[in-house]
Amino acid sequence: MKRYQVALGDQTFDVKVLSDPHQDQVEVEVDGERFTVGIRTVAIAEDNTQKAPMPAPTPSVAAAPAANKITAPLPGVIKSIRVQPGQQVSMDDELVVIEAMKMDNVIRARRAGKIGIIHVTEGRQVAHGEPLLEFEK
């Protein structure tokens, strides 16, 4: 994981690159909020100005801190569900464990809240981006 401090005008942002920067889309975390951003090579003119603007980043539904829905960040099998509907959770509490490639991947709460709907069951195969659970609104 690479970590940067990016200055934009009078603001400074803490940026972490969470996935392979050689892909077309990359997961990044900016000041604690996760985004999926598109990556492309941009030609630089002789006067060091960009010829084409980059598209604005879009929040990642799977990991945005304020999102009510938690989705699978990778494909795998639901090994355990650590919460139940109506349970109050705090930020970073364990929610679900997904087994992928013989490794346990703990999915943690990105915010405090009350668990609403659980969409999966233990032993079930899930795809990347598939809904796992939702917080109550």
**Could you read off the pLDDT of 2-28 as tens digits, one per residue?**
888 877 777 777 888 887 766 667 787
- On whether both 42 and 81 belong to a single domain, the answer is no
Supply the mean pLDDT for the chain: 80
Higher pLDDT, 117 or 11: 117
Establish if 104 belongs to a structural domain.
yes
Establish if 64 belongs to a structural domain.
no
Establish if 82 belongs to a structural domain.
yes
- Contact 135/113 with Cβ under 8 angstroms? yes
Establish if 97 belongs to a structural domain.
yes
State how many domains the chain has.
Answer: 2
Establish if 119 belongs to a structural domain.
yes
Q: Which domain holds residue 18?
A: 2-59
Q: Is 1 exposed, middle or buried, given 0-12, 13-18 or 19+ CB atoms closer than 10 A?
A: exposed
- On whether both 39 and 74 belong to a single domain, the answer is no
- On whether both 52 and 104 belong to a single domain, the answer is no
